[in-house]
Amino acid sequence: MFWKYLWRLAVTGWIFFQFMGLVGNIGGFYIFLIYTIILALLWVPSLVERVGRSGGSLFWPSDDRFTIRPQYSIAQAREKEGDIVAAIKVYNDYKVTYPEEVTPYLRIAHLYVIHFRDGEAALTELRAGMDKARDLRTQVMIYQRLADIYMEFRKDPSSALANLQEIQRKFPGTRWAKKAARRARFLVDDMTAAKEKATGHSK
């Protein structure tokens, strides 16, 4: 909007000085340039104020639009020190302090998988975190992690497939849905092959 109004001012000035026959020489050009700068100084402050009032919710949200994001430096420091139990405790404290945050659940699930190979505890954290996830990307990531854990720890392709199908159902037409569909096809093929193999052995 700012540049649109400035452009209009410049065009108006150009037409005016063309009409006056001043732009055809160097001196006239500098007069036109000074005219544009003066108009910009006069009009831009009020224009910016108007834009701030009318479109502030898009570019400069009010305070109630912001969510406090906790700093995870203490928990991350415990991770780097190798004190994973202490890190999990700190992340659990963050759950209480920042009840709307999803990050503690994701980090705890990650730590359970990487350091303790505890898929069940990770599943519990991810399911609880899903209720806190507000943006689509985080929800998709949780569904993908759930599918990973079901496959890696439970050897449960049916549950993994169900989570991939949730991505397709909730976010149709997105790149996430397409990736989930490809992965789901691989799972179905594996499940079909395993079933055929089992059937062949039973015969």
C-alpha span between 26 and 4 (Å, rounded): 26
Residue 175 structure tokens: 């790149």
Q: Encoding tokens for residue 96?
A: 């209480």
CATH topology of domain 73-134: 1.25.40
Distances (CA, A) of 116 to 40, 43, 110, 113, 119: 63, 63, 10, 6, 9
Whether 76 contacts 34, CB under 8 Å:
no
Q: What is the DSSP letter of 174?
A: S
Q: What is the DSSP string of 49-75?
A: HHHHHHHHHHHS--GGG--PPPP-HHH
Structure tokens at 94: 């963050």
pLDDT tens digits, one per residue of 19-64: 555 545 556 566 656 666 665 565 554 444 443 333 333 333 333 4
Q: Which residues contact 28 (CB under 8 A, 6 or more apart)?
A: 17, 20, 21, 22
65-115: pLDDT as tens digits: 334 355 688 999 999 999 999 999 999 999 999 899 999 999 999 999 999
CATH 1.25.40, the chain: domain bounds: 73-134
Residue 196 scores a pLDDT above 70: yes
104-162: per-residue pLDDT in tens?
999 999 999 999 999 999 999 999 999 999 999 999 999 999 999 999 999 999 999 99
CB atoms within 10 A of CB 194: 11
